[in-house]
Structure 1
Amino acid sequence: MADTVERTRGGWLLKPTVTLAPLDVGRAERELAEIADAASGDDLARVAGLLTAKSPVRDFLGAVFDLSPFLRDLARRRPSMLDALFDRGVEERLAAIVAEIGRSGLVPDLTEPALMASLRERKTEAHFLIALADLAGEADTQATVRRLSRLADACVDAASDFLLRDAHRQGKLSLADPENPAKGSGWILLGMGKLGARELNFSSDIDLISFFDPERPAIIDPSDATDLFSRLTRRLVRILQDRTEHGYVFRTDLRLRPDPGSTPLAIPVLAALNYYEGRGQNWERAAMIKARPVAGDIEAGTAFLKELQPYVWRKYMDYAAIADVHSIKRQIHAHKGHGEIAVRGHNVKLGRGGIREIEFFVQTQQLIAGGRFPELRGRETVAMLAELAKRNWITAEARDALTRQYWFLRRVEHAIQMVADEQTHTLPEDDEGLERIAHMLAFADAESFSHAFRASLQQVEAHYAALFEAAPELSSGVGNLVFTGDVDDPDTLQTLHRLGFQRPSDICRVIRSWHFGRYRVTRSAEARERLTELTPALLEAFGKTRRADEALMRFDEFLAGLPAGVQLFSLLQSNPALLRLLATIMGAAPRLAAVITRRPHVFDGLLDPALLTELPNRAYLATRLAAFLEGERAYEDVLDRLRIFASEQKFLIGVRLLAGSIDAAHAGKAFSDLADLTIGAALEAVEAEFSIRHGRVPGGRIVLLGMGKLGSRELTAGSDVDLILLYDHDADAEESDGDKPLAPSHYFSRLTQRLIAAVSAPTAEGVLYELDLRLRPSGNKGPVATHVEAFRKYQRQDAWTWEQMALTRARAIAGEPELAAEIDAEVAAILALPRDAAKVRAEAAEMRALIEEEKPPRDLWDIKLVPGGLIDLEFIAQVATLTGQVEGEGRTANTAETLARLAPAFADGSTRQDLVRAWSLYLALTQIFRLCLDSPFDRKDVPPGLADLLLAATDLPDFSVLEAHLKEMAGEVRGIFGRLLKKRK
């Protein structure tokens, strides 16, 4: 007992140099009493006496335990940590703990759970003592960060020693000296970020990268080394960060390794060097400034960093080096001091005027100058501020101001984290929380702290903004857009949300993946830099689609398929209209977006600066197709090139429609001309190929008769193609003249089947068109190819009214020109035959009623089937044609032209105008539906961008107005349909 009293008189060896005040004096007293009781229960009389007798130390501890629930709970659970400071000062006790940790990895027969418990107990005590010393003023902030970093080094070292010895025992490694397991092991553990710079914060993660050198003698099987060291790395993380009843050691982050989404946890040094030299990012160069071997084979780690020096430190400050630095800056919006800096909720690390800006200020200067001046290659922020000033890279005033504010902000960061041992950098938003931080930092109140804090941020911000006054600016006022590193920047998440993204964290992940060069399009440094420059404008454009997340995800899929991107990124950067168009496609046109995602080559057409000024008429398309097919080509190659050409031109026609350079009617004609030309070219290729084996039928001629929307030149982007193949030959021809002759009917049927396969069979380049031959005489029951005379006879004698209505849209689209002219003349003659008008009208009305019964419309937006919709208009035009109620020279297969030319006796001028107006509305909507959507239009789920397109195409101000207009129009058309097709005498 006397010995205990004597020891107590020695006093507690941590003497506070600052005065802290609790938030609640009464609560502080109660907390001290509880901890004193716990100390008494553990027979720690010295601690109990310290906490009950009035003294400045007691007042200090009362304030600490009231301000920090985390430290209070630690003291309550383990009052022995306070007791240790009666015998040793903080520095001496911390040195002893670090030494104990170092020995723990070498204890014979130690189990992994025992090591984990040992590390956690010792780390907890060290953490507690470091915090007390910091709050007491015994250690300045620089000493605090060094102590924390030394503690982390020791823990990582002990865990890695244990794992290496364990691998040696299992025969996985052959260590030269198990008592010094790291030496020659080849396992490199680099500390990154604040750990590498020995600037760890109180509740910091530790950033590690695990490499290995397969040439080191300890490695028995180099082929198994990746798997072995990845397993060891996984175990290392578990030892350090798994939460047990003893807590955790350090949260451990491995995501700074090269391309973390697709690389193992441990990477061979050669693969790492190849990555950094070929695909390394600018932010990775900056990150490597702080890299330090912290455990494992220190010699191998040092050699690795030496090999990496040319990548990190460029010798000459040429344009490329400065552009590299600016390409990092381009991802960060430099605030110029506009607006008030908030204190509540401010992120001390990442926010305006925060720690990250000071670090970035230093690192950019290091990247530019460190290649020529080795003394600027240091890891520590403040030491490098001094070196930069010494070499006149920055002013002494900037050095002093940033040094002072760096340590102040780090103190604030520590205080925030000491409250509850949470990895947060954000000041509280509530009054009590902010007052707590102010008291921990020895301010009188939150107001005085706020004043000092705001002044600090403003000073940092001013120096940071000045650093890049000459750097290229991007989009003004976008806000923070930081995608460097691997952790989401809070301000960037807010910026993305403000721009219109609902899942900003996912967007950050996607953009970071671009920076890793995983896609071919982003493998070159130039492409990545151009894309980095483009990103803010890209995000703004996608945000305006009002379905921003989907738009960006589709753009990401598009990038994944591109072979190269420098030209595209440059074009988008210099052409805002094209960028807006791309955003529209990605946000509002899933069908078009899917086309360019599956077949990125179609996007090449957008690189043509004349795209939106050249009309895609028949002559334009024919010239382009001829150039595309030029030269001797194999049959399969011709078919593939036709598919490529058609997919590209369909896309470009659609783009012109979306951009407003052509209207829906022009688009229908262009889609139809494209089908005419490509199917015609396919027919020529099939005939030539077929003739190699089967020859030709004497006098044989073929014509393709386009029906439906193809015939009327109203094709849409997603339309099937209705065709009839007609043929003729010499009357006395019995068979073809090839090696394998065929009878004419058999010959042309086989040739038609070959054509169907050539056009519709899927190849690596997709399908040219889906063909439908059911409109031929006798439908599916008849032969696929029809002799001209059979066609004439059938249409004149046997065709049903509905078949002759379909014939009103027939048009020869390809084949032998003279026969095509004959067929067009014959179709005109058939349509001009006298008919019972009343019967035609009645049968058409009956057919419409039957369709309505068997295929009712889904809703108002089912424009084809809805009463008063497209079918009603088509039937009106077809009945008028068959009954001779169309005026003007020559026959037209086009529905709009037919409706405009209705005879006054059939429809008066006002009715004609109403019908043409309805057709124009329906055609505009249909073209955009078929262009943009790959499923039926759903009024409840309209992409906002699509709604905008529909309004632009119809020149209406609001979607509800469009809906009302559509409903009214359908009612008018249905009324006209009833009047025009009712039975007349």
Structure 2
Amino acid sequence: MNRSGSPPPPGTDAAADAAALKIGGTARLVPLDAGKAEAWLADLARRAEAEDCPRLLALLARTGDADRARLGAVLDLSSHLNAVMLSSPDFLERLFDTEPRARIAEIIASLGTLPVAGASESETMALLRQAKREVALLVALRELFGAADGRETTADLSDLAEGAVGAAVRFALLDLHNREKLALPDPAHPEKGCGLFVLGMGKLGGRELNYSSDIDLIVFFDPDVAAIPDPDEAVEMFSKLVRRLIRMIGERTGDGYVFRTDLRLRPDPGAMPLAIPVPAAITYYEASGRNWERAAMIKARVVAGDAQAGAAFLDEITPFVWRKYLDFAAIAEIQSMKDRIDRHRGFDGIGVAGHNVKLGPGGIREVEFFAQTQQLIAGGRAPELRLRRTEETLSALAGGGWITPGVATELTGSYWFLRRVEHAIQMVADEQTHTLPEDAEGLERVARLSGFADLAGFSESLLPTLTRVEALFSSLFAQRTEPDDALPKVGGFLGGEDEAGVAAYLAGLGFQRPGDIARILRGWGAGRVRATRAEATRRQLAIVLPALLEAFAKAEDPDAAMAAFDGFVSRLPAGLQFFSLLASNPRLLDLLALVISAAPRLAETISHRPHVFDALLDPAFYREVPTADLMAERLSAFLADSDGYEERLVRLRLFASEQKFLVGARLLSGAIEGEVAGAVYSAIADVVLAAAFDAVEKEFARVHGTVPGGRAALLGMGRLGSHELTEGSDVDLLLLYDHDEGAEESVGARPLATTTYYSRLTQRLIAALTAPMGEGILYEVDFRLRPSGNKGPLATHLGAFRRYQENEAWTWERMALTRSRPIAGDASMQTQAEATVREILALPRDPVAMRQDVAAMRARIARDKPARGALDLKLIAGGLIDLEFIAQWAILAGHVPPALIGRPTAEVLRALEVAGVLPNGNFPLILGSSADAYTRIIQLTRLGPGHAHTVEALPRGLSERVAEALGLASPEAIEPTVATTAAAVNETFTRLLPMDREDGV
């Protein structure tokens, strides 16, 4: 009896079945060269005989057998499959007993038993490669014979990759455990509780892996699991594990390779380690994640390692991937990604020879982008669209009415046809390519592997498929990318028919380059910018245009103002509402012209949300000075129907942006002055930060529970703490917490140690405030005023805070506390934190040493950060720092009441002026009024272009507004006035805080 057992008696049905391969399928494969196919079959017969494969040998002897003919075609058409069959004919011999699908499942299941006890790394690698070679042959034969479609092929290949990665990860984890680098809770199941998990991305994540695909992986780990003995070494340890994984899976040995691996989809691959701690990843995605990374995460799936940790991570980044609202730029980025691919690859049309069926026009990527774009648009509100597989997504889109059933059916059929062609291209030589050959023979080979009798039939199917896909994909972006020049022109200036007349009119208004301005107007009229493509928009523009031109003609440089407005118009997502508003309310034009020409920060807000101009129509707008209570009332109403954490963050951004715009508009119009603006900007921050902290706390507690007796309070520091924020100010924050004595960890689904809990809570808060959503960021955040600065933990226990301030803090740290106040968190904790700060600041200090410390700090700043111009009011000698230091010293020294802790600088200085401690001398007591003047200048200049440190660098309209705020006749008087004030302040500072030591530090 041979290894296959005794054959059944000849002439029986069982004998016929035993003599046939169990591949199945009815596809007919045609070789390129029948003679060569026969020669290859003879070679295979010799190998079958040598390897004791009698039934395969018998099959090859039957010249009329259909399976024999198909094997011959495969041998002729694919050098890769040829090599596998000739080297391992036993793979085919097994198919007389076992169906390929069952054998594939058996092999993949065997990977789950790896590593074998006592097996070396090289032995494990050999087993993985053997499994890959056999599965690769079987899935190819099933698809080529017509026994399986692309759905089964891609799923089998994906399962193979997942099994291989899992086996390699288990081997590496056990090795770390045996070397006492890890303390696995269950070595029999190494993944369980190990903390490390591998995400399969792209086609692996979607179980759509192509025949010769590499696999996209990202490796993360939870640094807080008990299995990691030394968290400080975890990044290096797990990064080494990842390198080992890559070698075990991807290194080409005498047995071949398993899968090429690609880790470039991980966050910031140029800077991040190969294994990334979960907190770092969460911070990255929430603060810096880009739209293409959101799209990539749609398919992310845990394929190896700690499944529980992986599931928790994917749940935690759900708000990053699935947003309730999406800005236009995110959708445009999908088109931009495709455009960049086309430019990089040189794609410029549809064809057969040399066409890339994945990335080229009409290719696989366009079907995937079509589905993912719709998911990004709608997936936040429609969880049923949160699917990984392309076909399933298209079906769900049709089911939800986002696309028609016909489009879904057409794209699905096209997708699988293109995947079949892609596999045929790759089966030739097992190369990771998606490009059809240029030569006729190569094309004929791919055509026949794709199931066609010849190239002509293949081309007749491929070209219409590519054309249909390209048309459907392009339809997604047609309204966004193609101006409708066919719409009729409206408005005499916009049509450009009378160029000479238009130029003369513009010159008469005062424009120095009327030809350039006329070209801008013609561009608007031709719909060359997105905002003016609609006929209705151009009609409204034509109505308002004469008044608009007159308004911009009043600017100091009308041509520059119009150029700036053109840039503003080009950023508008749509123009109808905006131009209709102006047409109905021409009195807004002067303010608009000032905003566009002098206040780019405000212009940016209008360009994204033109409806903010609506508030300027309210007669109460110029009289109202919103209080914190009024802000809180409005925010509460705005958030009332918000749906979940992510939408709450979006609405906070919208509210803050719009409210800050209204403050800036009031300030620019002269309705309020700088000292009032600082209070209102701070009130906006107060209510928004309180709402954000409340949302973050609740969302964090949902995952990690709460700490017994835990209380936290957020303190505003710096300009926020003293009610002096400006447009665009960072917010300085400090988080203090307390909890029941003996509380060691939170109580919840994923408990954390108390210190970790509050540090992670603070990280989540930072991410919530700084994540660049479609509506921008909420605030830039700075926590460096915490104990020990950047070296200390993000969150500070109240007791530790007190001890540090009493025993270790520098004078400058106590000075910072004079501008602190609680703004959010538990009410009792806010009260306790405020009392603690007052007690710390009331501690007795050496007045001489304190005076010298303040003076030395000012000297060091003067040495290290010289002023950059006459209006660099923070840094000039006698500038804002001098006044702030005097005020902070006055509180520390007890010269003013403790009630002034956290009050504006001018208010503290006025109290100091009447305290009887100022030195005698022949200089005016101008501290409070000087602070007011500086505040007025800074609040206005912060609306203007960045880095404007002289009057000359300011737009004329803005410098005129500054002069008005100071009661000066013209902008030319600003710098002399500042110089006089600074000299007096500098003299006051020197008399109050003389520099008695020489080090200046």
Give the TM-score normalised by structure 1. 0.50
Question: Larger Cα Rg: Structure 1 or Structure 2?
Answer: 1
